[in-house]
Structure 1
Amino acid sequence: TWHESLFPVNGVVDAFDRLRVPKRLNLWIGDHAAPEGAGLLGAAPGAPDPVLDEAYAWLDHHLKGERNGVEEWDEVCGQVMFTYVTEPVTDPVTGRPTGARRIVAPAVRESRPTWRDATVGHELLGLTGEGAGGTDGRLVAAGEDGATTGWRRTFLAGVDTEATAMGEPLRTGQAEWKGDPKTYDTRKIDRRHALAWTTAPLVPADGGPVGRRVRGVPRLRLTVRSTVSAAGLIAHLFDVAEDDTARIVTHAPLNAYDLTPDRDTTVTWRLQAAWYDVPAGHRLMLVVDSKDPLYGDASVTWTQTGLGSPPEAASFLELPLG
Structure 2
Amino acid sequence: MRRLAAAVAVALILLTVGSRADADQTAAGFSTSYQRIPGADGISLGAVVLTPTGQGDGPFPLVVMPSSWGVPNVEYVGQGTKLATAGFQVIAYSSRGFWDSGGGIDIAGPPTVADVTKVIDWADQHTPADTSRVAAVGISYGAGTSLLASAQDPRIKAVGAMSGWADLIASLDPNDTVALQSVAGLLALGNITGRPGPEMASLQTKFVTGDFDGAIAEAGQLAPQRSAATMVDQINANHPAVFLANAFEDSIFPPSQYTAFFTRLTGPKRLLLAHGDHATPEVTGAIGLPNETWDELTAWLRHYLTGADNGADTAAPVQLKSQRGVWRGYPSWAAVGQSRTSYLTKPAGLSRTGALQPQSSTGWTSGIAAGVPTIADSGVALVSGALQGLLSIPTGVATPLVDRSFAGVWSGPVRSRPVQLS
Give the TM-score normalised by the residue count of structure 1: 0.50
Q: Which amino acid aligns with 2:365?
A: R
Query: Residue 52 of structure 1 aligns with which residue?
Result: 294
Question: Which of the numbers 384, 397, 415 marks the counterpart of 1:172?
Answer: 384
Query: Residue 421 of structure 2 aligns with which residue?
Result: 214
Q: Note the alpha carbon deviations across 1:205-257, whole angstroms, 9 max, x for none.
A: xxxx423x334xxxxxxxxxxxxxxxxxxxxxxxxxxxxxxxxxxxxxxxxxx
Structure 1 residues without counterparts, runs of 5 or longer? 85-105, 204-208, 216-322
Q: Does 1:14 align with 2:227?
A: no
Are 1:136 and 1:195, in contact at CA under 8 Å, matched by a contact in 2?
Answer: yes
Q: Does 1:28 align with 2:274?
A: yes
Question: Which of the numbers 281, 287, 293 marks the counterpart of 1:41?
Answer: 287
Whole-angstrom CA distance in 2 between matches of 1:110 and 1:162: 35
Give the secondary-structure state (helix, strand or coil) at the position aligned to 2:334. Answer: helix
Query: Residue 306 of structure 2 aligns with which residue?
Result: 64
Question: Which of the numbers 336, 352, 362 marks the counterpart of 1:135?
Answer: 352
Whole-angstrom CA distance in 2 between matches of 1:197 and 1:34: 32
Q: Which amino acid aligns with 1:154?
A: G
Are 1:131 and 1:153, in contact at CA under 8 Å, matched by a contact in 2?
Answer: no
Whole-angstrom CA distance in 2 between matches of 1:182 and 1:202: 17
- Judged with a 3 Å threshold, the aligned counterparts in structure 2 of structure 1 residues 14 and 181 are, in CA distance, closer, same or farther, namely same
Structure number, greater radius of gyration: 2
Instruction: Give the drift of 1:135.
Output: 2.8
Query: Residue 118 of structure 1 aligns with which residue?
Result: 336
Query: Residue 182 of structure 1 aligns with which residue?
Result: 394
Are 2:384 and 2:394, in contact at CA under 8 Å, matched by a contact in 1?
Answer: yes
Are 1:124 and 1:142, in contact at CA under 8 Å, matched by a contact in 2?
Answer: no
The number of residues matched between the two structures is 175
Give the secondary-structure state (helix, strand or coil) at the position aligned to 1:27. Answer: strand
Q: Does 1:4 align with 2:250?
A: yes
Whole-angstrom CA distance in 1 between matches of 2:321 and 2:266: 24
Whose RCO is larger (CA < 8 A, sep 6+)? 1
- Please show how residues 143-292 of structure 1 align to structure 2 within 5 Å: 143=360, 148-165=361-378, 167-184=379-396, 185-202=398-415, 209-211=417-419, 213-215=420-422
Q: Which amino acid aligns with 1:214?
A: L
- Judged with a 3 Å threshold, the aligned counterparts in structure 2 of structure 1 residues 72 and 124 are, in CA distance, closer, same or farther, namely same
Give the secondary-structure state (helix, strand or coil) at the position aligned to 1:123. Answer: coil
Give the secondary-structure state (helix, strand or coil) at the position aligned to 1:133. Answer: coil
Whole-angstrom CA distance in 2 between matches of 1:133 and 1:176: 31
Whole-angstrom CA distance in 1 between matches of 2:334 and 2:256: 13
Which one is further off, 152-161 or 172-181?
A: 172-181
Are 1:34 and 1:173, in contact at CA under 8 Å, matched by a contact in 2?
Answer: no
Give the secondary-structure state (helix, strand or coil) at the position aligned to 2:400. Answer: helix
Instruction: Give the drift of 1:193.
Output: 1.4
Q: Which has the higher strand share?
A: 1
Give me the identity figure in percent. 31
Instruction: Give the drift of 1:23.
Output: 0.6
Q: CA RMSD in A?
A: 2.0
Whole-angstrom CA distance in 2 between matches of 1:202 and 1:11: 30
Are 2:321 and 2:327, in contact at CA under 8 Å, matched by a contact in 1?
Answer: yes
Give the secondary-structure state (helix, strand or coil) at the position aligned to 2:269. Answer: coil
Q: Which amino acid aligns with 1:50?
A: E
Structure 2 residues without counterparts, runs of 5 or longer? 1-246
- Please show how residues 102-113 of structure 1 align to structure 2 within 5 Å: 106=325, 108-113=326-331
Are 1:34 and 1:177, in contact at CA under 8 Å, matched by a contact in 2?
Answer: no
Whole-angstrom CA distance in 2 between matches of 1:130 and 1:169: 30
Whole-angstrom CA distance in 1 between matches of 2:312 and 2:421: 27
Instruction: Give the drift of 1:66.
Output: 1.2
Instruction: Give the drift of 1:31.
Output: 1.7
Are 1:134 and 1:192, in contact at CA under 8 Å, matched by a contact in 2?
Answer: no
Whole-angstrom CA distance in 1 between matches of 2:383 and 2:296: 25
